[in-house]
Each structure stands twice: as structure tokens, then as C-alpha cells.
Amino acid sequence: MSASTVLITGCSTGIGAATVRRFAEQGWNVAATLRKPEATQFEQGAGRVEKFALDVTEPRSVDEAVGRALERFGQIDVLINNAGYGLFGPFESATLEAISREFRTNVDGVFAVTRAVLPHMRQRASGVIINVASLTGLVAMPLYSLYAASKYAVVGFSESLSHELAQFGIRVKVFAPGAVATDFSGRSMVRTFEGDGGPYADAIRKVMGTFAANRSTAAASTAEQLAQALYDAATDGTGQVRYVVGGDALAVMQTRKEIGEEALLGGIRQRFGLA
């Protein structure tokens, strides 16, 4: 019996790289996709890891990478749409180019890779698609309006897609982690503003300080913990669609349930010093 195969996008660092390692350790074939494969090395683990160049914003690149992965491994059992980046800062100062890039990567990229893999999974009447969103795709955090919009789109897309693909034996899941102890807020975060942010300078300072404090606490999940959670979601065999991961994310969702939406949003403003 051949080993199962997972295709993962955005594997250069952080959650993506840790997820490559986790699946490989479990004996899976891993199609690790990233924009610059030559810049990253992966250990083979108990499985086989192959790197493929893939830019989720380029449809031709997506189709070629998926085609090469299928040629190499013969099948794709699990797709993890992990590629994305954070756009931080006031909406008012965001350029049209920055807004377009955020949605091309975080939303259109998910659409493109999913569309490329779907015919194969549908023909096999089997497969799992996991789209990595964020807690900010369930409860929006301040100064992440565009990032939140992109991740809310991923959540809605995933939940609706789960209904239409169930008839083909394909399970769709959406993964919403809270704070992550990676360089996401550095290397992978783009700002909508220059300098100190002008009229938003005080809010920016307060929000950045709060997020930095959160990442330094035990509430922040490590990339390895999230990789394990992704592996569990991919292999649990259930119809569960939404996975909220991390102590902080679970606490926020529980608080919303207990006190209601209005009180939760007011509490978020207070926590970030914006009340």
C-alpha cells in the first residue's frame, strides 16, 4: 500500500515548515511548495519530501506545481492551504496595490490551489482540504481590517465548500489558530502605513505592544504545536469543519459565548487600549 501524500503551500518557514516535518515524521509523502525551493532544506523523516516551486498568485505556477506533485507521487490525499501573510495597519492608509496583493495571496491563492487539486480528489472520491485561516477570521482584531477580511473570506469559503464537496467524499476543514510564536509579525507582515502612522500612531503603538506581549506568553502556540494540530485535523476521519486552536483563541471564543458579541468587542478595545 502506497504512503499517503499531502501538498502544503507556504512551506519556507513557520507553520508550513513545521507541518512538512510533522507529516514526514509520520511516513507521509510531502509535496512542499514554496516560492523559492532552493532556499529551504527539509529532512526526509520516515517519508519522502519533494519541493516544488509554487507562487499562489500565479495560476500557471499553481497548475504546474500540482501537476508535478501528482506526477511524482501519483495522488494527493490532503491539501493544506497555508500560504499567506499579514497586512497590518489602518485601512485608511492602505494602497489599492496592498489591498489587491493581500486578497490575491490569502484568498485567490486558496481558490487557485483548491481548484487545481479538486478534479483529482473528486475522481478518487476521497480527500481532505484544510484552509489555514486565523482567530482574526472569526473575531476581528484592531488594525487588521484587511487581513481579517481575507481570513473571514477563507472561513466562509471553507464552510460552504464543505457542503458541496461532501457528496464526493471530500472533507473541507478550516483551521483558526490564535497567537503564534513565529516570525509571522516580522518577515511575513506588511504594513499599510509609513513612519509612525500619523493620526493612528498612538493606536498602532498600543496594538503592536499588546500583540508582542501576547506572543511572549504561554498563550502563544508554537509552530510545532500547530503542525501537530494540522496533522490531527487531517487524519481524525471526522466531519468536523472548524478547528479553533490555541489557548488564547479558545478563550476568546468561550468569552464570546458567555458574554455576547457586543461585550466581547468592547473588551477587545479595552485590552488594546482603544476604548
Ramachandran region, residue 97 (left: φ > 0; alpha: ψ -120 to 50; beta: rest): alpha
Residue 156 lies in a domain: yes
Cell of 5: 501524500
Residue 32 lies in a domain: yes
**Confidence band for 188, pLDDT divided at 50, 70 and 90:** low
Residue 130 lies in a domain: yes
Query: What is the model's pLDDT at position 181?
Result: 78
Maximum Cα–Cα distance across the chain: 62
Q: What is the mean pLDDT of residues 135-162?
A: 97
Write the secondary structure of 147-177 as one string of H (helix), E (strand) and C (coil): HHHHHHHHHHHHHHHHHHHHHHCEEEEEEEE
For residue 217, pLDDT over 70 is answered with: no
Q: What is the mean pLDDT of residues 175-197?
A: 80
For residue 256, pLDDT over 50 is answered with: yes
Query: What is the model's pLDDT at position 39?
Result: 84
Cell of 28: 507521509
Sheet holding 127-132, edge to edge: 48-53, 29-34, 5-8, 78-81, 127-132, 170-177, 242-245
How many domains, the chain? 1
Q: What is the mean pLDDT of residues 150-175?
A: 98
Residue 53 lies in a domain: yes
Query: What is the model's pLDDT at position 46?
Result: 76
Residue 86 lies in a domain: yes
Query: What is the model's pLDDT at position 220?
Result: 83
Mean pLDDT of the chain: 94
For residue 53, pLDDT over 70 is answered with: yes
Q: Position of cell 494540530?
A: 229
The tens digit of pLDDT for each residue in 67-97 reads 999 999 999 999 999 999 999 999 999 999 9
Q: What is the mean pLDDT of residues 105-120?
A: 98
For residue 214, pLDDT over 80 is answered with: no
Query: What is the model's pLDDT at position 189?
Result: 75
**Confidence band for 190, pLDDT divided at 50, 70 and 90:** very high
Range of the domain at 41: 5-199+221-246
200 is catalytic: no
**Confidence band for 184, pLDDT divided at 50, 70 and 90:** very low
For residue 253, pLDDT over 60 is answered with: yes
Query: What is the model's pLDDT at position 182?
Result: 62
Query: What is the model's pLDDT at position 121?
Result: 98
Q: Specify the higher pLDDT residue, 183 or 176.
A: 176
Q: What is the mean pLDDT of residues 30-49?
A: 90
Residue 68 lies in a domain: yes
Residue 31 lies in a domain: yes
Query: What is the model's pLDDT at position 275?
Result: 81
Q: Which CATH number do you get for residue 105?
A: 3.40.50.720
Q: Count CB atoms within 10 A of the CB of residue 113.
A: 27
Could you tell me the pTM of the whole model?
0.95
Which amino acid makes up residue 167? Q
- Please tell me the distance from the alpha carbon of residue 7 to that of residue 43, in angstroms, as a whole number: 16
Residue in 147, 200, 231, 243 annotated catalytic: 147
